[in-house]
A = this chain, B = another copy of it.
């Protein structure tokens, strides 16, 4: 039998785990510093919690866990005879794997609201599962890194989360562009164009400006049934990157003015950043969900011209997180790092710190069996002093042991022969330079 793992899942080698942990640790450090608290929810959730929260497509992409025991005993015989998978599903499965960290968070807040202090700031760095068709860069099992605050509509949190995005990418050494928009500006734009009811169509079309250009957006708007006069109004907004220039266009829309004012407050509050912060009126993001400011972060292609990668982080404000679970009205705002994509970019730009390339400070090798116990005792002393050390467990040929040191990517090898064991002076070889020196411990 040749072993394998499911399509769309991955094994990670030690070096990959070290680099992934470096990335998660940087994100976690800033989440912590910014007052977001860690929570954990189960990997398995009840399907009643998950189903219907991600649209029809999402329901289809949920991984469902089969009930244990004689799972068919309670299934409907006619449904089974008809091979009606949809009808049988709820009869044989009541649990599924979480699809994101947001719906479990909403459930958590409702279930534990009496134990939480609001505003409640939480983070989670954890895997989620989606039965997408696996392809390059898209997995069935992947990590999300989310920070959210619920129970406040203060715009200070929008400013804080902008700083948090900036701080993480600054520490990673990855130049990013943080783009901001506000759903109220998009609502205002639709209203001004005389199509308040068509905000979705309009925003889907203008969101594609980057890809299809102004003519493409115009074509799509017309195809979606937006009339020519409205298209002319909308075109004034395209390519505008200054709040001051959009503000007059929205003067007649109350909700539009609100959106402008909110964004202005965020820009005025946020203070100096390491990365570029831009207003982008064409930024849309999951509009059925967000109600206020929305974020999207991309790699700054001025600084990193060869990187082709979509959004590497995003987020936004929502008016009511917990209503779907019968919770009281709780507004919130959150961000999410696309950790798998950020990892790929860091790898491509060789931005992982050198110390993620190995996990040992020293490897001890012994030239003969008689010195092995001596080596083992030195090993214990070095570990007690806090060093990360290993010992090659037999007195093998030096070449074989040095090859092992190479494979472990260890920076320094301590070589012990009978002379060294007697004198307590050891030969330490620097594996980078090849230089050897005698050291007394």
| Interchain CB contact under 8 A, A43 and B43 | yes
| Interchain CB contact under 8 A, B65 and A66 | yes
B-chain residues with CB within 8 Å of residue A116 when the two chains form the complex: 13
Whole-angstrom distance from the CB of A256 to the nearest CB of chain B?
25
| Interchain CB contact under 8 A, B14 and A122 | yes
| Interchain CB contact under 8 A, B388 and A35 | yes
In the complex, A131→B70 CA distance in Å?
13
Query: Which chain A residues numbered 33 to 90 have a C-beta less than 8 Å away from chain B?
Result: 33-35, 37-46, 48-49, 60-61, 63-66, 68-73, 75, 77, 80-81, 83-85, 88-89
Residue among A39, A40, A66 having the largest count of chain B Cβ atoms under 10 Å = A66
| Interchain CB contact under 8 A, A152 and B393 | yes
Q: With CB as the reference atom, state the residue of chain B lying closest to A92.
A: B66
B-chain residues with CB within 8 Å of residue A388 when the two chains form the complex: 32-33, 35
Q: With CB as the reference atom, state the residue of chain B lying closest to A117.
A: B407
Whole-angstrom distance from the CB of A321 to the nearest CB of chain B?
13
Known: A11-B42, A73-B85, A111-B11. A376 touches B159 (CB 8 A): yes
B-chain residues with CB within 8 Å of residue A49 when the two chains form the complex: 3-5
Known: A3-B111, A65-B66, A68-B60. A42 touches B141 (CB 8 A): yes
| Interchain CB contact under 8 A, B72 and A393 | no
> Out of B73, B81, B95, which one reaches A80, CB within 8 Å?
B81
In the complex, A359→B37 CA distance in Å?
7
In the complex, A377→B156 CA distance in Å?
11
Residue among A42, A69, A127 having the largest count of chain B Cβ atoms under 10 Å = A42
Whole-angstrom distance from the CB of A266 to the nearest CB of chain B?
12
A229 within 8 A of B: no
Known: A42-B141, A85-B72. A33 touches B383 (CB 8 A): yes
Chain A interface mostly: mixed
B-chain residues with CB within 8 Å of residue A45 when the two chains form the complex: 5-6
Known: A1-B48, A42-B9. A35 touches B390 (CB 8 A): yes
A399 within 8 A of B: no
B-chain residues with CB within 8 Å of residue A93 when the two chains form the complex: 66
> Out of B6, B39, B81, B387, which one reaches A12, CB within 8 Å?
B39
A386 within 8 A of B: yes
| Interchain CB contact under 8 A, B17 and A65 | no
A211 within 8 A of B: no
In the complex, A387→B29 CA distance in Å?
11
A195 within 8 A of B: no
> Out of B11, B83, B160, B372, which one reaches A108, CB within 8 Å?
B11
Whole-angstrom distance from the CB of A379 to the nearest CB of chain B?
8
In the complex, A71→B84 CA distance in Å?
9
13 interchain pairs (CB within 8 A)? A3-B325, A5-B46, A9-B42, A11-B39, A12-B40, A35-B360, A35-B388, A43-B127, A69-B85, A77-B81, A80-B83, A117-B404, A152-B393
Task: List 9 A-B pairs, minimum CB-CB distance, nearest first.
Answer: A35-B390, A117-B407, A9-B42, A154-B393, A14-B37, A17-B38, A12-B40, A72-B83, A68-B131
A156-B393, A163-B380 provided; 9 other pairs, C-beta below 8 A?
A9-B44, A11-B111, A63-B66, A66-B66, A75-B83, A80-B83, A117-B404, A156-B376, A159-B376
